[in-house]
Copies of this chain bind each other. A is one copy, B any other.
Amino acid sequence: MTINFNGNFLKACKGESVSHVPVWYMRQAGRSQPEYRAIKEKYSLFEITHQPELCAYVTKLPVDQYNNDAAILYKDIMTPLPAIGVDVEIKPGIGPVIANPVRTMADVEKLGTINPQADVAYVLDTIKLLREQLTVPLISFGGAPFTLASYMIEGGPSKNYNNTKAFMYSQPESWFLLMDKLADMTITYCKAQIHAGSQAIQIFDSWVGALNVQDYRTFIKPTMQKIFTALKEENVPLIMFGVGASHLANEWHDLPLDVVGLDWRLSIKEAGERGIKKTVQGNLDPAILLAPWDVIETKAKEILDQGMAHEGGFIFNLGHGVFPQVNPDTLRKLTAFVHEYTTK
């Protein structure tokens, strides 16, 4: 740990006292940055992630520019899937497209296992590089089995996840085998990232809000329990996030994890009233970043007031990823405001 290391993010994860509320933004490295857009003209996402020096640069850039309190490794939740036999391509303007969708037990049985040192060495190398360069904690992430399965079953992005749910309801045995295989992949992949130097793990179950509580408990929660129980052994903070999943926040809170990520639909105050006592992370609607500064400041203040009054720790973030139209100056100003408003 360097002398100037800023550990506020890790402290907040554990609910410990901080010198200011830590802040980072989901998708802080991405198309909102002109430097990134210039790189994306030359390389695809997979090409960037396969070049550790370039990937480290992309990861670190927003931290330096915005003075954020954490870095998040630049990659995609699809990154580990080719290792287990999923033929995935990130198509510009569409998203992940999968050539061989999973539709039967035989498809599930064919899925292999990941050997991070062989399959994603470039990810581990990037982490090592970043740990030499960064003075803030490095977060790695993985996709949760439901969200990964939704792409694998639908063959790409989906609006209603009808095929995914039909598979889940119609072929429960295949479903649970698929969940189990994806859980094993996620555990191995995340553990390797921690061993390479990642200091926190965020699990994105981006689309699981499409399920109700009852189905979450039946079809998802046992798998998530397995993942977090295994990762807990590594003693780094574990964060959970999904969009439109307010109704599942208490289910997440039950799991052996440290931080409950919230989108903007559930306020931090309401989350507290519903029994969320762990650290929360969120939850400014990224659409607000397109509004005039006084609107942004007012909304940020409300969230900060609620976050600082929360029983557990608090990490300021957006309720979803930064999108391309957002001006980097706005994010720089927002980080400065969060730091200034919350410095003790």
A266 to B247, CA, bound (A): 8
A170 near B267 with CB under 8 A, answer: no
- A170: B residues at CB distance < 8 A: 290-292, 295
Tell whether A212 is near chain B: CB-to-CB under 8 Å: yes
Tell whether A165 is near chain B: CB-to-CB under 8 Å: yes
**Among A65-73, A127-135, A229-237, A281-289, the stretch in contact with B:** A281-289
- Chain A 89-124, CB-CB to B under 8 Å as 1, else 0, gives 000000000000000000000000000000000000
Other-chain residue from B162, B212, B247, B320 in contact with A160 (beta carbon distance below 8 A): B320
Other-chain residue from B165, B214, B264, B325 in contact with A162 (beta carbon distance below 8 A): B325
- Chain A 226-252, CB-CB to B under 8 Å as 1, else 0, gives 000000000000000000101100000
Tell whether A209 is near chain B: CB-to-CB under 8 Å: yes
A165 near B213 with CB under 8 A, answer: no
Interface members, chain A 161-197 (any B CB < 8 Å): 161-166, 169-170
Q: Give the interface SS of chain A, mostly helix, strand, loop or mixed.
A: helix
CB distance from A164 to the nearest CB of B (A): 8
Tell whether A323 is near chain B: CB-to-CB under 8 Å: yes
A38 to B244, CA, bound (A): 37
B212 near A285 with CB under 8 A, answer: yes
A291 to B266, CA, bound (A): 32
A325 to B211, CA, bound (A): 20
Given A166-B287, A170-B292, verify A209-B323 contact (CB < 8 Å).
no
Q: List 6 A-B contacts (CB under 8 A).
A: A160-B323, A162-B286, A162-B290, A163-B290, A212-B265, A212-B285
Binding site for B on A (CB under 8 A): 160-166, 169-170, 209, 211-214, 244, 246-247, 264-267, 270, 285-288, 290-292, 295, 320, 323, 325
Given A161-B287, A162-B323, A170-B290: 7 more A-B contacts, CB < 8 Å: A160-B320, A160-B323, A162-B325, A165-B285, A166-B290, A209-B265, A247-B247
